Amino acid sequence: MARHPHWVPAYIGLGANLGEPLQQLRTALASLAQLPDTRLVAVSPAYRSRPMGPQDQPSYINAVAGILCTLEAEVLLDSLQAIERGMGRAPGGERWGPRIIDLDLLVYGDKVVASNRLVLPHPGIHERSFVLYPLADMAPTLKVPGRGSVQALRAAVPENDLLRLEDSLTT
Q: Where are the domains of the chain?
A: 3-163
Judge whether residue 171 has pLDDT over 70: no
Distance, CA of 98 to CA of 160 (rounded, Å): 20
Q: Which residue has the higher pLDDT, 92 or 144?
A: 144
Q: Are 29 and 169 in contact (CB under 8 A)?
A: yes
Judge whether residue 2 has pLDDT over 60: yes
CATH architecture of 3-163: 2-Layer Sandwich (3.30)
pTM of the full structure: 0.93
Could you give the residue numbers annotated as active site?
89, 99, 102, 104
